[in-house]
């Protein structure tokens, strides 16, 4: 019996030791550099040095072509954001610029644009003079170009950048509610809109405040009109005509909070406190619940991932960025510990990644972007 118990305990002991080894350095910018750099190496080789069609093809085959296209786009944009962060954190801007440029070129390809073109019946870049939203594709593209410019990128994308941001701004202010739908006939997704608002905010910083009025007006409406009555959090959805749909999801609330930290730090801190009070999960692991008003032992959600014991994989990952932005280093380490326990880091040939990234590459990109969040609105380097 002793031998049997010992044998059964060995995997748990090894997992415990492996987790301790992979999280001991978390919390100090200099100590995290090696691990972060190795994860960046993996994403550079898997995403930035890939090409459009193979990148789409490695997205999970159990999701449809629309979500394969979305996940490929998000893999590129979150990798770009992570690399821009790393360029700032570790003074590697020149190195990261070329990789971000490669990512932008991938996103500009017809293959990546295809998912949005199919839903809207027109190409997002060939229809910039039109009135259809295309906010999903255009916002991520603009955000990426903004990151490229912020770390010293050249003029190669400037004309496109100006055109895309002008188009997004025009469509937003001409709408009846300062919001446009991700796809025709669907509710408005607040996290998708926030990517556009972040992109316009970045553009304003680079171009003498242009479009800042739109950003400020949108944030004011968010604070005063689009708050969930039961939690105090920004709602997850609006109706097609802009009425707030009450009820929030952990994954969407975490992502909303993270994006807000990039444009309104004080509002983001308020939302972060409410996120923790409504969605924080402590057992069996530290993380974020997907549902605050019910318990789900198992559910599959295309945005949250596999929800097991009400733990939201996406919500937990996005909250790493919130905790980093709001300088909550204790919870940040707890969340990264959860990520290590579930994800299990693999290191080989100066590259590191979570084991699950073989199936969810977008999750790897998001995790590194969240973990490397750089200066907050007050200009402080966090960690």
Instruction: Report pLDDT digits (tens) over 228-272.
Output: 999 999 999 999 999 999 989 999 999 999 999 999 999 999 999
Per-residue pLDDT, averaged over 96-122, amounts to 98
- Using pLDDT thresholds of 50, 70 and 90, give the confidence band for residue 383: very low
Taking the C-alpha atoms of residue 61 and residue 41, their distance in angstroms, rounded to an integer, is 25
At residue 13, does pLDDT exceed 80? no
pLDDT tens for 53-94 read 999 999 998 899 999 999 999 999 999 999 999 999 999 999
Its domain, for residue 74, covers 2-371
At residue 367, does pLDDT exceed 60? yes
Q: How far is CA 325 from the centre of its chain?
A: 13
Report residue 240: phi and psi, to 5°: -60, -25
For tokens 């293959």, what's the residue? 111
At residue 21, does pLDDT exceed 80? no
The total number of structural domains that make up the chain: 1
**DSSP codes joined into one string, 125-168:** TTTTTS----HHHHHHHHHHHHHHHHTT--STTHHHHHHHHHHH
pLDDT tens for 305-349 read 889 899 999 999 999 999 999 989 899 999 999 999 888 899 999
Q: What CATH number does the domain containing 131 carry? A: 1.50.10.10
Assess if residue 196 is contained within a domain: yes
Assess if residue 90 is contained within a domain: yes
Taking the C-alpha atoms of residue 70 and residue 65, their distance in angstroms, rounded to an integer, is 9
Assess if residue 64 is contained within a domain: yes
Q: Contact, 231 vs 291, CB < 8 A?
A: no
Assess if residue 378 is contained within a domain: no
At residue 380, does pLDDT exceed 80? no
Per-residue pLDDT, averaged over 47-54, amounts to 97
Which residues make Cβ contacts (< 8 Å) with residue 145, sequence separation at least 6? 104, 153, 157, 160, 161, 164
pLDDT at 358: 79
For tokens 């010992």, what's the residue? 6
Assess if residue 381 is contained within a domain: no
Assess if residue 383 is contained within a domain: no
pLDDT tens for 111-164 read 999 999 999 999 999 999 999 999 999 999 999 999 999 999 999 999 999 999
Q: Can you read off the two tokens belonging to residue 358? A: 């073989």
pLDDT at 105: 98
pLDDT tens for 135-146 read 999 999 999 999
Please give the model's pTM, rounded to 2 decimal places.
Answer: 0.93
pLDDT at 73: 98
Per-residue pLDDT, averaged over 288-315, amounts to 87
At residue 22, does pLDDT exceed 70? no
Query: Whole-number mean pLDDT of the chain?
Result: 91
Assess if residue 382 is contained within a domain: no
Assess if residue 135 is contained within a domain: yes
């Amino acid at each position: 019996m002793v031998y049997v118990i010992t044998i059964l305990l060995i995997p748990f002991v090894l997992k415990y030791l492996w987790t301790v080894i992979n999280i001991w350095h978390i919390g100090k910018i200099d100590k995290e550099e090696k691990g972060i750099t190795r994860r960046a190496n993996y994403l550079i080789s898997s995403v930035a040095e890939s090409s459009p069609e193979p990148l789409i093809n490695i997205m999970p085959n159990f999701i449809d072509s629309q979500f394969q296209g979305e996940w490929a786009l998000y893999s590129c944009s979150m990798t770009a954001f992570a690399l821009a962060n790393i360029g700032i954190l570790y003074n590697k801007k020149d190195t990261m610029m070329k990789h971000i440029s490669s990512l932008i070129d991938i996103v500009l390809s017809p293959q990546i644009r295809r998912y949005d073109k199919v839903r809207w019946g027109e190409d997002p870049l060939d229809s910039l003079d039109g009135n259809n939203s295309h906010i999903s594709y255009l916002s991520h593209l603009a955000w990426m170009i903004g990151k490229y410019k912020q770390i010293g990128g050249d003029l190669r994308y400037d004309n496109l950048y100006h055109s895309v941001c002008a188009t997004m701004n025009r469509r937003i202010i001409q709408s009846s509610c300062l919001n446009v739908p991700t796809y025709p006939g669907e509710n408005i997704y607040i996290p998708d809109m926030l990517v556009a608002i972040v992109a316009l905010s970045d553009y304003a910083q680079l171009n003498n405040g242009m479009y800042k009025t739109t950003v400020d007006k949108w944030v004011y409406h968010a604070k005063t009109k689009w708050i969930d009555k039961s939690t105090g959090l920004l709602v997850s959805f609006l109706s097609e005509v802009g009425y707030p749909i009450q009820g929030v999801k952990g994954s969407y609330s975490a992502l909303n909070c993270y994006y807000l930290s990039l444009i309104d730090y004080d509002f983001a801190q308020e939302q972060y406190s409410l996120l923790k009070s409504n969605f924080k999960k402590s057992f069996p692991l530290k993380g974020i619940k997907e549902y605050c008003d019910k318990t789900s032992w198992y559910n599959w959600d295309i945005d949250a991932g596999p929800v097991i014991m009400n733990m939201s994989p996406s919500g937990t990952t996005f909250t790493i960025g919130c905790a980093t932005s709001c300088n909550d280093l204790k919870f940040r380490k707890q969340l990264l510990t959860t990520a290590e326990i579930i994800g299990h880091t693999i290191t080989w040939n100066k590259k590191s990644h979570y084991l699950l990234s073989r199936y969810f590459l977008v999750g790897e990109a998001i995790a590194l972007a969240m973990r490397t969040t750089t200066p907050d609105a007050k200009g402080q380097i966090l960690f």
